């Protein structure tokens, strides 16, 4: 089964090797049909403490690292740049 990959914005990088990522999705209201935004925050593992608040990141599902962390950062970008995969030279 493939691992899920999500893209979102870092809202907190205060903890050591951990970032909080806000993921937003748009869904239709079940009765009225209006498109509404739903959001959820995920704690993700950032081994090198490389990403900062406001950065656009990609996170991937992984085995549990701690009580809250079951995601890891696989790519990061500055607030306005393109996403750079970790471990690549491009």
Q: In this structure, is residue 68 part of a structural domain?
A: yes
Number of domains in the chain: 1
Q: In this structure, is residue 17 part of a structural domain?
A: yes
Nearest to residue 41, comparing CAs of 67, 69, 15?
Answer: 69
The C-alpha atoms of residue 77 and residue 35 are separated, in whole angstroms, by 28
Q: In this structure, is residue 25 part of a structural domain?
A: yes
Structural domain for 71, as ranges:
5-85
Q: In this structure, is residue 90 part of a structural domain?
A: no
What's the pTM value of the predicted model, to 2 decimals? 0.82
Two tokens, residue 27: 């869904």
- The CATH number of the domain holding residue 26 is 2.40.50.140
Q: In this structure, is residue 40 part of a structural domain?
A: yes
pLDDT tens column, 11-59: 999 999 999 999 999 999 999 999 999 999 999 999 999 999 999 999 9
């Amino acid at each position: 089964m493939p691992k899920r990959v999500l893209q979102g914005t870092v809202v907190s990088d205060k903890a050591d090797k951990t970032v909080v990522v806000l993921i937003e999705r748009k869904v239709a209201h079940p009765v009225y049909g209006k498109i509404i935004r739903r959001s959820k925050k995920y704690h993700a593992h950032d081994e090198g403490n490389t990403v900062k608040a406001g950065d656009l990141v990609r996170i991937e599902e992984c085995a549990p690292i701690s009580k809250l962390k079951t995601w890891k950062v696989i790519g990061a970008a500055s607030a306005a740049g393109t996403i750079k995969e970790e471990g690549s030279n491009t």
